[in-house]
């Protein structure tokens, strides 16, 4: 019997495939698997907060005339006047993983926390890290990447990280406590809107849908990348555009866990008026509606929808349920929502565009009516 000698250039059939996964290598960590919810969808619902705050005893802070914005409103941060030309803005925000990449999670959480300062018309100055970490469940090199991401965003905002606090926690959490500064006469709140004001939104919505799809391993990589881009875009440019318009912007808030309509309801209720929303004008990230149709709805979004439907109240008109849920989608690191004098609305939209904000969309208006009530229509004109 004859045999053919092996070709020295041929691969060894018994050798491992260099392109195959290493069976001894650890599987990549999916941070979202350690989270019971995604980002700001983990927040207590507006209904839950009303219950809690109704049980909290008054702490006497309202008696201090230098507390310009405090516990009694639904504003994004507290504001305390130090002198006639200087006030500090203090806020905090943290949440569970919203994406699997630790660096991106850190960037998103930091951008989200800084947003509260920008929503008050202020400039961030100093931040402290807030960390919950399962010391036996996740390696510390991942936490280092989270902190790197947060630190890079804070530095990009012109602020400093001055320290922080950490605890051993079964579920990972990260965020910031932030201090900013603002002139006491230039503080933006969500209680100053006026009848006739136009509502302008500076980022598209749909982030909660994408976060839910990410957690369920259902979102395409390019859609996740777009969501990360939106969530890591600071609202600093939007704040700068607002400052250029000046006194014509009467109220502001940012859009986060309570969804667009939840935060609008707070603005309308705080301002003692009602509002109308043009559902067809609200910017939505491409691909989100398809995910929504596939059932990618966060629990926080469902709670938001129940709250505004039963409590606000919202008149949905003929709007389909999926579109209703989209307007209640629990956002993380969303855009600013601004109430502006209609005479200056075009100026604001142009200023936002000049500052390269992600969206500059007129989405509704403020009207006379029961405080906090909202009418949603597919099209509003005139």
Catalytic positions, written as ranges: 40
Sheet of 336-340, strand order: 249-254, 336-340, 198-201, 361-367, 274-278, 374-377, 314-315
Omega cis (within 30) before 313? yes
Residue among 44, 174, 171, 47 at smallest CA distance from 112? 174
Give the DSSP H or E segment for 137: none
Using DSSP, state whether 51 is helix, strand or coil: helix
Using DSSP, state whether 164 is helix, strand or coil: strand
Cβ neighbours of residue 295 under 8 Å, at least 6 residues apart? none
Alpha helices of 207-251 — where are they, by DSSP H? 207-215, 221-231, 236-245
Alpha helices of the chain — where are they, by DSSP H? 46-55, 102-119, 140-156, 207-215, 221-231, 236-245, 259-271, 288-293, 299-310, 321-327, 345-354
Using CB atoms within 10 Å of the CB of residue 29, give its burial: 0 to 12 exposed, 13 to 18 middle, 19+ buried: middle
Q: Which residue has the tokens 């990410």?
A: 214
What's the start-to-end Cα distance of the chain, in Å?
A: 95
Sheet of 160-168, strand order: 67-69, 78-83, 86-95, 173-182, 123-133, 160-168
* Helix, strand, coil % over all residues of the chain, rounded to 5: 40, 20, 40
């Amino acid at each position: 019997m004859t045999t053919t000698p092996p070709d020295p250039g041929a691969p060894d059939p018994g050798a491992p495939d260099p392109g195959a996964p290493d069976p001894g290598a650890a599987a990549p960590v999916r941070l979202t698997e350690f989270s019971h919810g995604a980002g700001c969808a983990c927040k207590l619902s507006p209904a839950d907060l009303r219950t809690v705050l109704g049980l909290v005893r008054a702490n006497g802070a309202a008696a201090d005339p230098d507390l310009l914005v405090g516990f009694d409103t639904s504003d994004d941060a507290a504001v305390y006047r130090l002198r006639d030309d200087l006030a500090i803005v203090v806020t905090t925000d943290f949440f569970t993983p919203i994406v699997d990449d630790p660096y991106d999670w850190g960037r998103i959480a930091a951008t989200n926390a800084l947003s509260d300062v920008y929503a008050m018309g202020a400039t961030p100055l100093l931040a402290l890290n807030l960390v919950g970490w399962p010391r036996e469940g996740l390696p510390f090199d991942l936490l280092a990447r989270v902190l790197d991401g947060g630190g890079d965003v804070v530095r990009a905002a012109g602020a400093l990280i001055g320290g922080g606090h950490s605890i051993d926690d079964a579920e990972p959490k990260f965020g910031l406590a932030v201090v900013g500064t603002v002139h006491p006469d230039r503080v933006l709140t969500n209680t100053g809107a006026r009848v006739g004001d136009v509502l302008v939104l500076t980022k598209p919505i749909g982030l909660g849908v994408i976060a839910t799809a990410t957690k369920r391993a259902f979102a395409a990589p390019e859609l996740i990348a777009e969501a990360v881009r939106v969530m890591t875009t600071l609202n600093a440019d939007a704040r700068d555009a607002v400052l250029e318009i000046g006194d014509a912007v009467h109220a502001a808030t940012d859009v986060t866990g309570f969804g667009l309509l939840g935060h609008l309801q707070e603005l309308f209720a705080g301002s003692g008026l009602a509002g109308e929303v043009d559902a067809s004008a609200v910017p939505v990230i491409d691909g989100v509606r398809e995910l929504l149709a596939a059932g990618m709805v966060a629990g926080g979004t469902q709670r938001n929808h129940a709250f505004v439907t039963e409590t606000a109240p919202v008149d949905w008109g003929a709007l389909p349920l999926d579109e209703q849920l989209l307007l209640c989608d629990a956002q993380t690191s969303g855009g600013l929502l601004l109430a502006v004098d209609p005479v200056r609305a075009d100026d604001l939209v142009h200023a936002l565009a000049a500052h390269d904000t992600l969206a500059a969309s007129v989405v509704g208006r403020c009207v006379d009516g029961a405080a906090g009530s909202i009418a949603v229509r597919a099209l509003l004109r005139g």
